[in-house]
Chains A and B, each alone.
Chain A
Amino acid sequence: MQSSDSSRSYRVAADVGGTFTDIVAFDAASGQTFFGKTLTTPGQLVDGIVTGVDKAGASIESARLFLHGSTIAINTVLERSGARTALLTTRGFRDIYEIGRINRPQAYNLFFKKHQPLIKRSLRFEVNERMNARGEVTEALDEAQLVALAAQLRELGIESVAILFFHSYMNPAHEIRARELMEEHCPGVFVSASHELSKEYREFERTSTVAANAYIGPRIKTYLGEIQDRFRKERFDGSFFVVQSNGGLFDVARAQRECIRMLESGPAAGVIGAQVVCDRLGLRNAIAFDMGGTTAKAGVVLNREVMMAGSIMVGGYAEGLPIQIPLIDTQEVGTGGGSIARIEEGGGLRVGPQSAGASPGPVCYNLGGTEPTVTDANLILGRLSADNFLGGEMKLNQAEATQALRNRIAEPMKISLTQAANGIIRIAATTMSNVVTRVTTERGLDAGNFAMVAYGGAGPLHASIVARELSIPQVIIPPSPGHFSAYGMLMADLRWDFVRTWFKPVNLLDFGEFIGIYADLEAQGVRILQRDIDSKRIVCSRAADMRYVGQEHPVTVELPASFFAKPDRIALKQLFDDEHMKRYAFNAPKEPAEIVSLHSSVVGALDKPEAKRLTAPARGRKPVAKPARRKVYFTEDAGFVNTPVYARQNLVAGQRIAGPALVEEYASTTVVFPGDKLEVSKHGDLVITIGRS
């Protein structure tokens, strides 16, 4: 990929979602970026990718680099359409996967449900072996038993095997040997061991992680293989990388083994895109806000770095399955354009979590939806256009939407139609602002110190309202917000994150050993990455999870290079005390602290496409394109206001627009409120300064 064959000048990213496949192609030769959107083809996902690339005006053959993210991993778990999988685990513990953490978040719901394991009880097998918490073998691995088990698994038609042994994060020897034996005696079967995915303690979470990886493994392996085959036929001769949930890329061979890492590739890529937007605008801190049809998500860029988390619950907190891998910290709420507004039994007005989704969709889609949604409310207030939706490809039915809202909300509540529509949007906005709060204030960060990069089809419609809720001063709408995750993929780097559990009190810390572990992790990372990139372009960073002795939940403390120049315990403790104060508003400098795990990130920086600059208007001349106008409702006081509607493709760099205004583009509309001021950046970002209100 270092070759710069000019005939293969494209860098192509494909984001395959449940409904749409988004393509962004960047041509390094011309500096042009092309976009394609096509319906996802569930049977043969690769067809959708090829069609989308065509639609963008590029070709697979012309690609030097192909970057891919997909919802296939998460959907395989949620739809339970994975392989027939067996679990091998330490004797005495085949039920820990089913017992889980025993919690009951819906504390007053007698009809609560527990998580459902992906592997049923009769396919969970116990193996004679044991390590203690120091990683010492207390019972040797029973290899004869494993060989016999392998025969049984073949008999049972098992396609995939997950291995979880206790304390493998301290010493993976038994898992490694068991894996070898399975591969030897069950040829063709997918085998996955927990330490390959997570080197952190917590046996249930590790079990759930390795089980999910094994469960989705065969399907993902085949899927990625099919793309490779098809691409070979299309004479693709470049590099193929997959986006991980940590926002970094990994090579397709590894993605076929550690499939679970691509779980959140789409949302992660969106946050990476937001980080790139921040960099080009010189912003240090931003909230990445993504709103689509059914959900809104938020992530954080802090000091130019993306904030990470250590695990996620797939399928929601109450009944979900935990996956313990490094991933970009995003929070999600079930509020989107399709969220339904209802009057609840007690008389309150609720928006969501029920969603009309894409089908039947909002009432105005005319696809059979009868309950008013957030999108209907936007149409009624004039913020969406009945004629320009999806570039005019889909005509919206305003009369039906109005009737539904009037009959179901406005009249029963004895409020006006516009009050109802405005109320629905405000309620949706506060729900979404709470999800932003979860990634900021709950982490000791003040949302008021952040800019907000808003994307997703519905993000630009609501960003200004959400920003007002949280006193966020600035909103940025990047170009093509509806393709933003694919754009983020285009901007991702090769990346490998390691976390290793290592319990050590700070006052007993031996820096030789401490630095030795980092060096070891970094060497591993460099080994993986240097196959695809010049080692000079690899950068490593270090952090440690720390807590006060006695606490359970650690905070992650970034350890800058300056710390390692002259490492000492007092400085380390000080870094931790400061971080704890920042995050929780108190600390205990006199109390002893300990290290729980070490984090190492190894990043190989790829060349980034330089965003094409918009042409600036000639000096002293007004922009040519005159905006259309329509009546739009912003506030109760002002009612409907005659508002200019700009077409985004006609905007020029440096152009300024004072709210109220709308900016329409193919898959999205940006709402600029009265008092807001918009300026078009040289890269085409809409930079909105939120007015005080």
Chain B
Amino acid sequence: MITSNNLLAKIGIYSFLIIGVLLSIAPFYWMFVGSTLQSGEIFHLPPKLLPGTNLAENFQSLSESIGITKVFFNSMFIALTYTVVSTLISAMAGYAFAKFRFKGGNGLFFIILCSLMIPSQVTLIPLFEMMVSFNWLNTYQAIILPGLAAPFAIFLMKQNMKAVPDSIIEASRVEGAGEFRIFFSIILPMTRPALAAVAIFQFMGQWNSLLWPLITLNSKEMFTLPVALSSLIGMARIDYGQVMLGTTLATIPIIIFFLLLQKHFISGILGGSVKE
């Protein structure tokens, strides 16, 4: 009896999990297929489950409507620059907070913790006014700069920097290494997994971000992928083949990063909640 009960439980758990997986994955598959279909075919019932032949045409019309190559470049350039600089800044700050005792340190860290709780929406209007007065609307820096010092990333780096033994830093100082040298050639290599986790997190956040770019970008030339996609949806006649290819292109880079670095993705998320 016990074994048959076990078998039932096993079947139960597996079918629950597999249905869950199918529901999670199916929209992706359908989106990929949709990017190769004509607008009308996407709404064909029963649905077309195999790729069609319209991929090149969809790309062509996506180039004409939103200039997909430039848009893709904008998104990639912004996300990569943002990721590199913000990861470096948060690593430096995290290092200072974790490994130095200095006047005002606790107070500053407390301010950073507080800003973790403030919804970013509250900064939108003053930031927009600021961008107008700097004449920065429709520029890369308008998208990149405001979020560069990310409290969550600083917090995460501080937690990880704590694990670096003080003795290593002390020994390097005795040997005459300067503070920057210690940071760049000893601390950074030691905390590579944390850096990867933060970098992924920052990249994903910037790549997927819609609201702030939507506010600051209004010339097609400068659109990021999410803004360009939302402009496609706003058109009077929506070409869904195009839209599906656009969403596919917005998704593929992240999927590739995720599949290559999935351990770091997950540790980045866990860094904020439970300590492993």
- Do A and B interact with each other, yes or no? no
Residues of chain A whose beta carbon lies under 8 Å from any beta carbon of chain B: none
